[in-house]
Amino acid sequence: MTFSVVIPTHNRKEDLRRTCEALEALRPPPKEIIVCADGCTDGTAEFLRTRHPGIRLLVNEQSRGSIAARDAMIRGAKGDIVVSLDDDSHPAENDFFETLEQIFKNNLRLAVATFPQRSDEFPESLKTSRFGPPMFAGSYTSSGAAIRRNVFIALGGYPRHFRHAYEEPDFALRAWNAGFEVRYETVLTIRHHYTQAQRNENRTHCFHARNELWSVVMRCPFPQLFAVAAFRAVRQFQYAWMRGWVLREPLWWGSFLAGLPRCIAARHPIPWNKYRTWMELVRNPRAGL
C-alpha cells in the first residue's frame, strides 16, 4: 500500500516550510508529497523548487480555491491512500504511515479516515492524552484525513465550484451512500499549528453556508429537500445573527442563486433513509451503526 500527501497553499510560505520539514522526517516516508501553490505571490513556488526539489509542485497562477487544488492533486496522485493536509498541519507520530497502512488494510470498506488534531486553535487539545474510541462519522477535516483514492475517483471527487468549504460532508455523504465508511480514528493524531494568515471567518461562513445549500440541492431527495434546505438556511441566518454578520448574508444568498442552475443540472438525489443516517452521523458520530 502506497501513500501520497497533498497540500494546497496560498501565501503561507513559512508555515509550509515547517510542514515540509516535518513530513520529510517521517519514517517510513510517503511515496510522494504534492503541493499546489494556488495563486501564491510570496515566492512559495521558488522556495519549493530550491529547498524541496523532491516535492511535486502544481502551480495555479490565478487562485482556484482549496477544493479545486485538492481535487486535482488527489486525481493526479500515485498513492493508494492520499493524506490530505493543510500547509500548517502534519502528522504528529513519526511512524504515521506504518500505522495508517494497518488501519486501511483492516477495513476494506473504509473510504476516509480522519484524525484528532492537536491545534493551537483549541489549546486544551495540545495537552489531551486520549481522544476516545474510534467512531463512525458523517464528515472529516481536510487538514488531517486519509482518503482511499480509487473510491474518491469512483465517486466523482470534489465539486470544484464549491471553491472552499463543505467538500468533506458532501463527499462523506456520497461515500456512505455507496456502502463505504468514514471513521474518526484516534490511534493517530495531527499537529495543526492553525495560523491566522489568509483566514477570514466571515468569508469562510459565506462559502460554507452557500455550499451546504448547494449540496442539499444536489443530494437531498424530494420532498424532504424543501424542509432540509429551509432548516439549513435558517440555521445559517441564526449563526450570522449571533456573530453580527446579518447585513453581509445577501452576499452568499446571491452567490447561491447564481450557481443554482449548475447544481440542479448535477442533481443526483440519495435515498432518504441513507441521507437521514448521514445527517445523524454529522451531528453525533458514534461507535456502532
Q: What are the boundaries of each domain within the chain?
A: 3-192, 201-270
Taking the whole predicted model, whether its pTM rises above 0.75 is answered as: yes
Per-residue pLDDT of the chain (289 residues; tens, 9 = 90+): 999 999 999 999 999 999 999 999 999 999 999 999 999 999 999 999 999 999 999 999 999 999 999 999 999 999 999 999 999 999 999 999 999 999 999 999 999 999 999 988 888 888 887 888 999 999 999 999 999 999 999 999 999 999 999 999 999 999 999 999 999 999 999 999 866 655 678 889 999 999 999 999 999 999 999 999 999 999 999 999 999 998 989 989 999 999 999 999 999 999 999 999 999 999 999 886 6
Q: What angle do CA 10, 60, 88 make, to 5 degrees?
A: 25
C-alpha to C-alpha distance for 241 and 219, rounded to whole angstroms = 27
Asked: is 3-192 a CATH 3.90.550.10 domain? The reply is yes
C-alpha to C-alpha distance for 9 and 31, rounded to whole angstroms = 20
